[in-house]
Structure 1
Amino acid sequence: MEAKEQIRTIQFGNVLETDHHKHIFSNNKKSVSLYKKSMKKAIKLIANHLENRDTPFTGTSITSIREKIDAIGLEENFEGKSLDYVLDELKAIYLNDCIHFHDPKYIAHLNCPILTPTLVAEAFISSLNSSMDTWDQSTGATFIELKLVEWTIEKLGYPQRADGIFTSGGTQSNMMGLLLARDHYIKTHYDIDPKMDGLPADASKFRVLCSEVSHFSLKKNLSLLGLGQNAVVPVAVDSDFKMNVHALKKVIQQQKDLGNIPIAIVGTAGTTDFGSIDPLTEIAAIAAENKLWFHVDAAYGGGLLISEKHKNKLEGIEFSDSVTIDYHKTFYQPVSSSGFFMRDKLYVDYIKYHADYLNSKEQEDEGIPNMVKKSIQTTRRFDALKLWFTLRIIGTKGLSTYMEKAIDNALFTANLLRNRDDFELIHHPEISTIVFRYTPWKADERSFCGLNSYIRKAIFNEGKAIITSTKVYNEVFLKFTLLNPLTTPADIEEIIALIVAHGQEYSLIN
């Protein structure tokens, strides 16, 4: 016979509750007390962990981590475990071996170290759990987000009629840009409403032009938008991995000659691998001449907007029709914190929908600011609060110094590698990424691909630093993504020494 669950009841004022109800976060004293005790334990554990780890990774194996988690039965105790038990468990299966993006020797991907004010903001975001879709779920949070949207629009140089919304990340923001580009073209050239009638027969001929090193999310999103990955037409880049505008003009004409229909150009302000910034002003002119939507993917490079020293690199972004910016990259925010911006708020019509229970037409007529009409999400976190805390506590000038230091580190690395004869550097950094490879022997003797792949894996497995690799023209290269302002030239030199050591190790076993 199955044992029956024993449920103990507790009196809270005039309400009779079970033990399990104590976990519901509410405004009674016992709940608030439990909240404070629980958060204090969690913060203590995190702080102790940070103080006792001095590498970005422990080097533990994927098998070890999987086995620890597989051994746990999620329902082994119907009544649940204590917080202390679960924290100890989490330490063993996650915390001990998690990747430290904030370590100065983590220079792999576009993961930035985060700022202490944002962690304070996260406590408010998760604890109060405002949902940004409607005014009656968010109140003041709505105007905080709107204020930050206005602030970003001003930095972009967009006109006052512009608008924007916080999103989950660059992929979502790029999708919104492509969605608006698609539907703007349809509304302008066809007697149908794509929201109601779907796509015209000609949609199979729609083409979006972007550089050959643009982000993969463009293909992914065009597939989701019903145009297919083949709608992406890559345009050749120059020796600095920027879109070649002469090639762009040729590709537009070639597509027209093939009977296809170019509808948009995507410029990249900070490619993932090279940090290259396309010639935005020239692309904007070509887009205007051909009546094409111009979207800029500034997920990486958007942080340059607040740097007096580097903002000129984004000249021309003000002529775009829409822009993607990831605050959780070069604004040093925790994920997720991203934004999508459109030159004209009327473009919202392509995505807005009125639900009587949520954002009725009557509410809009009354001037109630329901943000859901601008978003492809409905339920949405108050992620804007993190940026608000950052600007109010650190300020724009202070924030900009972090990215400026990262760029200085990239220039230092480039000069260091350029002056060595055992490394090949294939570009000059424009933001903070460096793509290179270790080349200790003549290229015609044997491939460098195996060598550099080995180095990347060996460094990760050792855990003292984390770098990554990419492929350029089918050859394996190593990559530094420098975002941490605490990374020093000495750190960079130590990582290069690790590359050389593991490279020599590879030579001995191969």
Structure 2
Amino acid sequence: PLDPTALTNALTEHPRPHLVVATAGTTDTGAIDPLDTIADLCTTHGAELHIDAAYGGPLLLSPTHRTLLHGLHRAHSVTLDLHKLGWQPASAGLLAVPDHHHLTPLHHHAPYLNAGDDTEAGLPDLLGRSLRTTRRPDALKIAVTLHALGRDGLADLIDRTITTAHHLADLITTTPGLDLYQRPTISTVLFRPTGATDHTVATIRRTLLNRGHAVLGRTHTAGHLWFKATLLNPHTTPHDLRTLLDLVTHATTELLTPTTHPTESDTPR
């Protein structure tokens, strides 16, 4: 997470203007920065605050987990990527600001796209509604999902997904030969075989992938390479998780068990 002390030093040492970017759900571990503390520092130093909530933003929908995002409302802008904990197409992202006037710098006018008389005649001006004029109407898909599931429906999916991640963490801690990085903040779980080298971890991951058994992510943190399981399917079962760990354990044993070759005395004559 962003170190408030280091941020204080940076804001003090460097002249304005400042733009501070905090993260609510890092890609590697799902960590969430101390948003309220960072917002306080931005207020003190007159800095703009942008929060990248691409991963963790949908936690706002969950009464159980929204407290993890305390301070998010103090940002000058927030990004959310709803293809993660929103189950939307990859391009269905949002840029949220406190007031629509803050988007004015993004406005662009071109006669062939923004003909004034057409606008006055009632034809819609689509250019001002998107950063890209040819993007798919993914906002409609978000709206349909919200209408179909509502806040409570999406909150249920989010809560179930996070519960599944914690169950995976529990299984790892009780499985001999596996180490857990830390309890998941959102739904990302890092683990690795006990005492394995980074080369071994990378080889096991590729072995599982090449055999079509499992697709695990990878990340390098705390001086080691870790398997990264980012749980995003609310329908994942405990059996699925147990199967995954069994596959990892089997591949690890297979890789680390020395292959015995027959000696001359063992060779049939």
What range is the shorter-chain TM-score in?
0.7 to 0.9
State whether residues 348 and 374 of structure 1, in contact with CA within 8 Å, keep that contact through their aligned partners in structure 2: no
Structure 1 spans left out of the alignment, 5+ residues: 1-241, 442-446
Aligned counterparts, 1:122-133, within 5 A: none
Query: Which residue in 2 is equivalent to 1:460?
Result: 209
What is the CA-CA distance between 1:294 and the residue it aligns to?
0.6
CA distance in 1, matches of 2:138, 2:116: 26
CA distance in 2, matches of 1:364, 1:293: 34
Query: Which residue in 1 is equivalent to 2:6?
Result: 247
State whether residues 126 and 133 of structure 2, in contact with CA within 8 Å, keep that contact through their aligned partners in structure 1: no
Decide which of 219, 226, 237 is 1:477's aligned counterpart.
226
Compared with structure 1, are the counterparts of its residues 369 and 306 closer, same or farther at alpha carbon in structure 2 (3 Å cutoff)? farther
CA distance in 1, matches of 2:123, 2:57: 30
- Quick one: higher RCO (CA 8 Å, sep 6+), 1 or 2? 1
What is the CA-CA distance between 1:369 and the residue it aligns to?
5.9
CA distance in 1, matches of 2:121, 2:29: 48
What is the CA-CA distance between 1:354 and the residue it aligns to?
1.4
Compared with structure 1, are the counterparts of its residues 366 and 251 closer, same or farther at alpha carbon in structure 2 (3 Å cutoff)? farther
Give the secondary-structure state (helix, strand or coil) at the position aligned to 2:18: strand
| RMSD across aligned positions (CA) | 2.2
What is the CA-CA distance between 1:495 and the residue it aligns to?
0.6
What is the CA-CA distance between 1:459 and the residue it aligns to?
0.9
Decide which of 332, 340, 365 is 2:87's aligned counterpart.
332
Compared with structure 1, are the counterparts of its residues 297 and 363 closer, same or farther at alpha carbon in structure 2 (3 Å cutoff)? farther
Query: Which residue in 2 is equivalent to 1:207?
Result: none
Structure 2 spans left out of the alignment, 5+ residues: 260-269
> 1:499 corresponds to which letter in structure 2?
V
Give the secondary-structure state (helix, strand or coil) at the position aligned to 1:414: helix
Structure 2 residue 237 is matched with structure 1 residue 488: yes
Query: Which residue in 2 is equivalent to 1:270?
Result: 25
State whether residues 351 and 375 of structure 1, in contact with CA within 8 Å, keep that contact through their aligned partners in structure 2: no
Query: Which residue in 1 is equivalent to 2:264?
Result: none
Q: Which has the higher helix share?
A: 1
What is the CA-CA distance between 1:312 and the residue it aligns to?
1.5
CA distance in 2, matches of 1:261, 1:393: 46
> 1:348 corresponds to which letter in structure 2?
L
> 2:58 corresponds to which letter in structure 1?
G
How much identity, in percent, do the aligned residues show?
A: 35
CA distance in 1, matches of 2:57, 2:173: 28
CA distance in 2, matches of 1:361, 1:312: 46
CA distance in 2, matches of 1:449, 1:281: 36
Query: Which residue in 1 is equivalent to 2:263?
Result: none
Compared with structure 1, are the counterparts of its residues 363 and 316 closer, same or farther at alpha carbon in structure 2 (3 Å cutoff)? farther
> 1:322 corresponds to which letter in structure 2?
S
Normalising to structure 1: TM-score of the pair? 0.48
Give the secondary-structure state (helix, strand or coil) at the position aligned to 2:171: helix
Per mean C-alpha deviation after superposition, the further-off stretch among 346-355 and 414-423 is 414-423
CA distance in 1, matches of 2:31, 2:122: 42
Aligned counterparts, 1:202-217, within 5 A: none
Aligned counterparts, 1:163-182, within 5 A: none
Query: Which residue in 2 is equivalent to 1:377?
Result: 132
Aligned counterparts, 1:437-448, within 5 A: 437-439=192-194, 441=195, 448=197
State whether residues 354 and 361 of structure 1, in contact with CA within 8 Å, keep that contact through their aligned partners in structure 2: no
Query: Which residue in 1 is equivalent to 2:266?
Result: none
State whether residues 89 and 138 of structure 2, in contact with CA within 8 Å, keep that contact through their aligned partners in structure 1: no
Structure 2 residue 38 is matched with structure 1 residue 283: yes
Decide which of 84, 103, 110 is 1:348's aligned counterpart.
103
The structure with the larger Rg is 1
State whether residues 269 and 277 of structure 1, in contact with CA within 8 Å, keep that contact through their aligned partners in structure 2: yes
Per mean C-alpha deviation after superposition, the further-off stretch among 267-276 and 333-342 is 333-342
Compared with structure 1, are the counterparts of its residues 307 and 366 closer, same or farther at alpha carbon in structure 2 (3 Å cutoff)? farther
Compared with structure 1, are the counterparts of its residues 335 and 243 closer, same or farther at alpha carbon in structure 2 (3 Å cutoff)? same
Give the secondary-structure state (helix, strand or coil) at the position aligned to 1:282: helix
Aligned counterparts, 1:110-129, within 5 A: none
Give the secondary-structure state (helix, strand or coil) at the position aligned to 2:219: strand
What is the CA-CA distance between 1:376 and the residue it aligns to?
2.8
CA distance in 1, matches of 2:117, 2:32: 44
What is the CA-CA distance between 1:384 and the residue it aligns to?
1.5
What is the CA-CA distance between 1:244 and the residue it aligns to?
2.2
Structure 2 residue 261 is matched with structure 1 residue 506: no
CA distance in 2, matches of 1:428, 1:369: 49
Superimposed CA distance per residue, residues 279-303 of structure 1 (whole angstroms, 9 cap, x where no aligned partner): 1111111112111111111111121
Give the secondary-structure state (helix, strand or coil) at the position aligned to 1:330: coil
